[in-house]
Structure 1
Amino acid sequence: MAITVNILLEQRSLNLSLAVEGDKETLDMPISWVHFSESPDPTPYLEGGEVLLTTGLVMPKDQPDEIHRSFASRLIDAGVRGIGFGIGVQHDSIPQWLVYQCEATGLALFSVPLKTPFIAISKTIARGISDDTHQNFARMYSNQQRLMRSVKSLDPVSTIVSRLAELIGGWVALLNPVGSIISSSHHVLPVEVGALGDALAFSVLGEAKFTVAKGYDIAIFHVASPTKQTLGYLVAGRKGEKGTIDHPLVAEAASLLSLAVNGTADSNRSLNHLRSTMTRLCLEGESQSVRRFADDVWSGLPVQPLVALRIIGQQDALEDAGRLFEPFRRTVAKNDNRVVFGIVDGDMWAIVSQSNAAMWTQQLTRTGRLTVGQSSGVTWIDMPRARHEAYQAGAEALTSGKALVQYGSGEGGATLEGVVEPSLMRAFADLKLAPIANLIFDLSTGPHTKAGKPRQAGTAKTSESQIAKVDSGTQVRAIDVLWAWLQSRGRAEEAARMAGMHRHTLTKYLGVIGKELGVDLNDPGTTAELWYACRFSRFGSTLK
């Protein structure tokens, strides 16, 4: 226990007498040092927390002079714990004006008899500070040993968290990389960790942040693995002002957690393989074959109706997603958000209750490191359809740059260009239109190329700039004719007006185009492919 004014007064060998009690809280605050001074203003030589000893050598007896008028107030502002006034040297008793000042300001004041040397008070305070320092070291060592023993328990993570809360006299929570609680010392925390906001954003490995919220001194440590991978965040709080909490002890707990969490990696590898295999079975509609093992692997199956989530990202981001879903070691509340999850074909797949889907997707996309495709609602037996929908929605999300696409939400997930990589679409279009890329029709003489012969598939192509050099008055490109007809949905009159020719001429040219392409233009499937080809081909059309 640190030495205080109350403890100092209890030392019978010193024969100290309390003249002004002052602030009761101050009497029990630790004394940092003792200072002897006869200066009318000793505050420049103080750091706060001291006991000031004086004989009042320059103090007036009856009334304070100008410089002593605010003597006690200056000492209070400097953080002095109390004044020890030595009597019998300059004054036979403590000046009454000093007593009044101490009573008005709440500063403790005690008398020191002549037979008690100031050095005896100094030694007593020094011994108290030394004893307190030794006790702090002993306590710190004991606390560290208790924390280290927690690593050997069956559940080291939960044990470290609960033991740290006990040692600091507060509460502790371990968060996963996306900020969700995975272990906590209390079922209900006095501070909502989600409201800490920017305090959970770390840019330096192993960084620590300190803040105050709702009257709690809070320390937040970034928990990282030896391989510099973010494992989560340790949040500890204790009632009091900033600096109340034992920061070194929290720091050590963060280091132990980094070892405890990372140390389970090898044992989790087999579990992850098992989860991947069982997740694949669920996605294929075989949930019945894994149901008996679900409690051990995922802490149970989610409640129908369900949605499938295809989660796409780098390996470290997918690992973070896995820790987000991790059901074990949860002590905050019963796990009502059960998730089937595992890595399948390079992506993280998760099956969740439709009612909880928004909560999960919000957490998954919060950091911007993951892309999510979400299926519509299904039952277990319809899971193959959900897998197909989630896969398509994920492809659309990658193409569009969106963090989340829900299948059937009207965001373009059902369009061909939404699920086909753009370069593949352009390659398809160029190959499809290659036979007519250089085909030009003369409105007076009929179809021909610049060389005077119809272009055959497989011959050399002219450059894009050469293709564009067509006399708009007498010549028209075959691609323009085809695009006009496709845009008019096969209506010859409308297409002829758009291309600037008679409908009979248009019909004759379409016959040539169909022959060159080797397709039947009356086939709906063919016209659909040609529409996409004209839209995406680098050969382009001047009628777009």
Structure 2
Amino acid sequence: MAMTLNTLLEQRSLDLSLVAEGDAGDLDAPISWMHFSESPDPTPYLEGGEILLTTGLLMPANAPDERHRPFASRLVDAGVRGIGFGIGVQHDAIPQWLVYQCEATGLPLFCVPLATPFIAISKAVARGISDNTGQNFARMYRNQQRLLRSVHTLDPVSTIVSRLAELIGGWAALLNPVGSIVASSHHALPVDMDSLADALAFSVLGEAKFTVAKGYDIAIFHIASSTKQTLGYLVSGRKGNKGSIDHPLVAEAASLLSLAVTGTADSNRSLANLRSTMTRLCLEGDADTVRRFADDVWNGMPVQPLVALRIIGRQDALEDAGRLFEPFRRTLAKNTNLAVFGMVDGDMWAIVSQSNARSCTEQLTHDGRLTVGQSSGVTWPDMPRARHEAYQAGAEALTSGVPLIRYGSDRSAATLESVVEPSLMRAFADLKLAPIADLTFDLSTGPHTAQSGADTTIRAVDVLWAWLRSRGRTEEAARMTGMHRHTLTKYLASSPKHCTSTLPTPASPPNCGTPAVSRASGTPWRNRNPSDEPEHSPNKM
């Protein structure tokens, strides 16, 4: 902490008493030194920031003379922090006119008793300044060490930028040579970088510029390589007047970035390729292979249930999307939600927890540069289905011109109602399902008979619906219908179009695989033996 008048007044051994407080904040202003003078105008010997000590040897007691009438105002103009008036030498009390002048001009005034020598005050100020200087050096050393340790992280460029913002108590951003943000401490900066275009025009390599915008003290350092090539610009800001930011620390960060930017480009390229390969494996359902490397690549894997996000856009927008998911950025507003992400086939793909999907998509689509397709909720083994759904939703979002479509939502093409008028869809279904609408399978015959007392028939439509709901998985469909999987396979391999209840009874019964009965006539149909022909896959029905 800097040496201030408040610090001086708090030292009980000096027995100082405040008479005039001055303007707000004056008591906490840093003191540069202490000066003793009895001159009516000591300003030629002052630099600003000092405490003036006087016994008022030449001051009149009742009213100021011509020389002392502007006494306090001259000291204020010179930047004096306050007046220490020693009583008991020339005056038993501080002259009232001097008190009035200090109150009118906002200059702090304190009383120094006769028992307190001025040299004691001088030593206290000197010790305070010395201690503050030592603390500043210690603080600078600690901050420099923290910046140096940032170089050894997985993403040194982003870590240096974020650490700098933390140390200066503000924000920081690294711009590329064309002025686009490459890394920043915050997702939204308080100052628009486009407004600093004039300040980014440097004529000298390694030059620095300082400005003030929107109440922020801003320092801009030009970053160049050893071969005199422009690598970018470091822009940092802190709330306050010009000069309040720690310029030496920003300069050191700029030097570290000049070394880190070149090396980081190659490491980022390797990491991006690794992430792309591992993301593709996860989308193909092989998450178990990836899991043991996830901590090093993404800092972990998201928690199930999951959704897949297909993120479509220009390259610069996709790079911004990657920075949104990046887990190795030590930012002040770090997003701790884990995500598996990488470039796959020209698009950015991300796998996030379903509970975090809304916040992710809102950040991705807020500026209109990206289009996102989102899958429904799945587990890791079902990720191939999620990839298909996200791909379809993304394609529909591009076609419809909306920034986000969730698979299966009202605006998604995954719902048939969005492309087919409901009455037409119903007519189509009635027409195509008419041949099997009244068709039933008889479970009372064959090797897999129904249990005693149970219904011995099942509708063909119910069998078809179970097979569709289970996405062609025979065992799951068999469980849903309550029959053996082999029986279900035989039913699915039959040809019900030859077994409609509306057709007249043919001379010779058609071969339909398994016994079937018409609900209208109750006449059983005998199917051909399944062993007479090769097994058919349900997917070829």
TM-score range, shorter chain: 0.5 to 0.7
Where do 1:114-263 residues align within 5 Å? 114-263=114-263
Structure-2 residue corresponding to 1:520 = none
Mapped to 1, the partners of 2:272 and 2:102 lie a distance apart of 69
Aligned equivalents of 1:300 and 1:188: distance in 2?
23
Per the alignment, do residues 235 and 323 of structure 1 end up closer, same or farther by CA in structure 2, a change over 3 Å counting? farther
Whole-angstrom distance in 1 between the partners of 2:151 and 2:107: 48
Matched with 2:477 is none
Q: Tell me the TM-score normalised to structure 2 length.
A: 0.53
Once residues 139 and 262 of structure 1 are traced to their aligned partners in structure 2, the CA distance between those partners, rounded to angstroms, is: 29
How far apart are 1:229 and its partner, in Å? 2.0
Q: After superposition, what is the alpha-carbon deviation per residue over 1:127-179, rounded to whole angstroms, capped at 9, x for unaligned?
A: 00000000000000000001111111122122111111111011111111111
Q: CA deviation at 1:56?
A: 0.6
Q: Is the 8 A contact 2:156 2:264 kept in 1?
A: no
Aligned AA for 2:235? V
Q: Which residue of 1 aligns with 2:403?
A: none
How many residues are paired up? 318
Tell me the distance in 1 between the aligned counterparts of 2:270 and 2:176: 21
- The 1:272/1:204 distance shift into structure 2, 3 A limit, reads farther
2:485 maps to which residue?
Answer: none
1:68-106, CA deviations, whole angstroms, 9 ceiling, x for partnerless residues? 111111111111111000111111110110000011111
2:113 corresponds in structure 1 to: 113
CA distance in 2, matches of 1:174, 1:28: 35
Aligned counterparts of 1:38 and 1:340: Cα–Cα separation in 2: 82
Q: Identify unmatched segments of 5+ residues in structure 1.
A: 279-287, 307-320, 342-354, 358-378, 381-544
1:2 paired with 2:2, answer yes
Q: Can you list the C-alpha shifts for 1:154-210, whole angstroms capped at 9, x where unaligned?
A: 221221111111110111111111111121111221111111121011121111110
Q: Relative to 1, partners in 2 of residues 1:219 and 1:300: Cα closer, same or farther, differing over 3 Å? A: farther
Distance 1:268 1:159 in 2: 14
Are the aligned partners of 1:4 and 1:28 in contact in 2 as well (CA < 8 Å)? yes
Question: 1:264: Cα distance to partner?
Answer: 2.2
1:469-480 counterparts in 2 under 5 A? none
The change in CA–CA distance for 1:154 and 1:209 in structure 2 (over 3 A counts) is: same
Contact conserved, 1:20 with 1:110, CA < 8 A, in 2? yes
Residue equivalent to 1:427: none
Work out the CA distance in 2 between the residues paired with 1:300 and 1:147: 35
Q: CA RMSD in A?
A: 3.8
3-state SS, counterpart of residue 264 of structure 1: helix
Cα offsets for 1:200-241 (capped at 9, x unmatched): 111211111100001110001112222222221111100110
Q: Deviations over 1:400-456 (max 9, x none)?
A: xxxxxxxxxxxxxxxxxxxxxxxxxxxxxxxxxxxxxxxxxxxxxxxxxxxxxxxxx
Unaligned runs of 5+ in 2: 285-296, 298-307, 327-332, 336-342, 347-367, 371-393, 396-541
- Give, as a single letter, the amino acid of the residue that structure 2 aligns with 1:109: L
2:83 maps to amino acid: I
Separation in 1 of the partners of 2:230 and 2:334? 24
Superimposed CA distance per residue, residues 252-292 of structure 1 (whole angstroms, 9 cap, x where no aligned partner): 111111112111244467689999xx9xxxxxxxxx9xx99
Q: Which amino acid aligns with 2:238?
A: R
Would the aligned equivalents of 2:155 and 2:264 in 1 still touch at CA under 8 Å?
A: no
TM-score by length of 1: 0.52
What residue identity is the alignment partner of 1:77?
D
Quick one: which amino acid aligns to residue 252 of structure 2? E
Counterpart for residue 32 of structure 1: 32
| Residue 57 of structure 2 corresponds to residue 57 of structure 1 | yes
CA distance in 1, matches of 2:40, 2:190: 48
SS in 2 for 1:76: helix
Letter of the structure 1 residue corresponding to residue 164 of structure 2: L
Give the Cα–Cα distance (whole angstroms) in 2 for the partners of residues 233 and 12 of structure 1: 50
Q: Tell me the secondary structure at the aligned position of residue 18 of structure 2.
A: strand
CA distance in 2, matches of 1:175, 1:212: 18
